[in-house]
């Protein structure tokens, strides 16, 4: 059973120093033991680029970098942040544009700038034929998923595909994402008692799902509230299997194939066979 963690911030300070350990007790070795073949790394802002790229250089076949500006990092420095994203996209190979999107949960101060940054990065992804990893967190009586989907529909950009990361929406929202050609990123929330996905996932075909941890955040049960890590992806796969009354190997096979199908041409060397 081979799994791909399509969203993990493993460059986060919570993982600092672990990869240097040789006692078998680090996040990468635990992930390997659970047959996690790839870990996709979404960028957040300029400050996270060095750590992410260091891991990508150290493990080029395992830790695949994205490039983007996370909506929660959009402030009055947004132009400088986007310039850094654009420069890196022109200089290095990335497997996706991400993490991008809209976040209405914490602060609405820079919502207009969020929309502008989101549109700019969607256009870059379309131009470079790269998938996107999208963050849509609702709040303040505004539905981030719906507003992101509305913008994508309005732009009608060619060759735009990717993942609605950390999908926790309704069945209607899932159907809309699928109709637009996007995959749903399913993570630890699927294991939560009140996560809501227990009424959604049974009605969604495996061909539309990919798996993620969002490490170090949103650890699945029984680790909820603790630091998340890629090795826990197997628990998420099992939860999806249980909800859909399937064997976990079938979930792994489909979700891994779905993830691999998103990889751009530059990463064809990582495809099986």
The pLDDT tens digits for 110-167 are 999 999 999 999 999 999 999 999 999 999 999 999 999 999 999 999 999 999 999 9
- How many other CB atoms are there within 10 angstroms of residue 234's CB atom? 20
Burial class (CB in 10 A: 0-12, 13-18, 19+), 156: exposed
Phi and psi at 242, nearest 5°, equal -65, -45
Edge-to-edge, what's the strand order for the sheet holding 132-137? 3-5, 36-41, 63-67, 96-103, 132-137, 162-164, 182-186, 209-211
Mean pLDDT of the chain: 95
Identify the pLDDT of residue 198: 96
- Dist CA 67 CA 53 (whole Å): 10
Domains annotated for the chain, with CATH where assigned, are 3-270 (3.20.20.140)
Using only the alpha carbons of the chain, give its radius of gyration. Answer: 17
Kindly state the tokens that stand for 64: 């695949």
Burial class (CB in 10 A: 0-12, 13-18, 19+), 204: buried
Confidence of residue 17 (pLDDT cuts 50, 70, 90): confident
Q: Is a pLDDT exceeding 70 seen at residue 67?
A: yes
Q: What distance separates the 2 farthest-apart alpha carbons in the chain?
A: 52
Confidence of residue 18 (pLDDT cuts 50, 70, 90): confident
Half-sphere exposure of 31 (CA within 13 A, CB side): 24
Identify the pLDDT of residue 266: 77
- Global confidence as pTM: 0.96
Identify the pLDDT of residue 265: 80
- How many other CB atoms are there within 10 angstroms of residue 172's CB atom? 10
Contact between 35 and 5 under an 8 Å Cβ cutoff? The reply is: no
Q: Please name the residues in contact with 272: beta carbons below 8 A apart, sequence gap of 6 or more.
A: 260
Read off the pLDDT of each residue in 179-206 and give the average, rounded to a whole number.
Answer: 97
Q: Any idea which of 19-33, 126-140, 184-198, 251-265 has the lowest mean pLDDT?
A: 19-33
- Dist CA 47 CA 68 (whole Å): 12
Fill in the DSSP letter of residue 161.
-
Helix (H, G, I), strand (E, B) or coil at 170: coil
Read off the pLDDT of each residue in 62-67 and give the average, rounded to a whole number.
Answer: 97
**Closest to 162 measured CA to CA, from 172, 171, 152, 154:** 152
Q: Is a pLDDT exceeding 70 seen at residue 36?
A: yes
Place of tokens 């899932």: 174
Read off the pLDDT of each residue in 165-186 and give the average, rounded to a whole number.
Answer: 98
Fill in the DSSP letter of residue 108.
-
Contact between 246 and 1 under an 8 Å Cβ cutoff? The reply is: no
- Dist CA 179 CA 175 (whole Å): 6
């Amino acid at each position: 059973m081979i799994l791909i963690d399509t969203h993990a911030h493993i460059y986060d300070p919570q993982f600092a120093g672990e990869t240097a350990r040789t006692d078998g007790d680090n996040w990468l070795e635990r992930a390997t033991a659970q047959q996690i073949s790839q870990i996709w790394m979404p960028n957040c802002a300029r400050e996270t680029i060095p750590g992410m790229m260091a891991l990508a250089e150290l493990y080029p076949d395992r830790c695949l970098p994205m490039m983007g500006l996370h909506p929660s990092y959009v402030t009055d420095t947004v132009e400088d942040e986007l310039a850094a994203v654009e420069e890196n996209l022109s200089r290095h190979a990335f497997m996706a544009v991400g993490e991008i999107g809209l976040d209405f949960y914490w602060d609405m101060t820079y919502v207009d700038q969020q929309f502008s940054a989101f549109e700019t990065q969607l256009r870059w992804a379309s131009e470079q034929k790269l998938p996107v990893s999208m963050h849509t967190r609702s709040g303040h009586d505004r539905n981030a998923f719906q507003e992101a989907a509305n913008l994508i529909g309005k732009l009608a950009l060619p060759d735009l595909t990717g993942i609605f990361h950390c999908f926790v929406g309704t069945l209607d929202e899932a159907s809309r994402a699928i109709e637009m050609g996007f995959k749903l990123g399913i993570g630890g929330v699927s294991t939560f008692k009140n996560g809501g996905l227990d009424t959604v996932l049974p009605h969604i075909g495996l061909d539309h799902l990919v798996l993620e941890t969002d490490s170090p955040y949103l650890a699945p049960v029984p680790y909820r509230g603790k630091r998340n890590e890629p090795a826990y992806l197997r628990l998420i796969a099992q939860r999806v299997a249980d909800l859909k009354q399937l064997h976990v190997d079938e979930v792994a096979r489909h979700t891994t194939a779905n993830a691999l199908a998103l990889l751009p041409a530059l990463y064809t060397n990582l495809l099986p066979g």
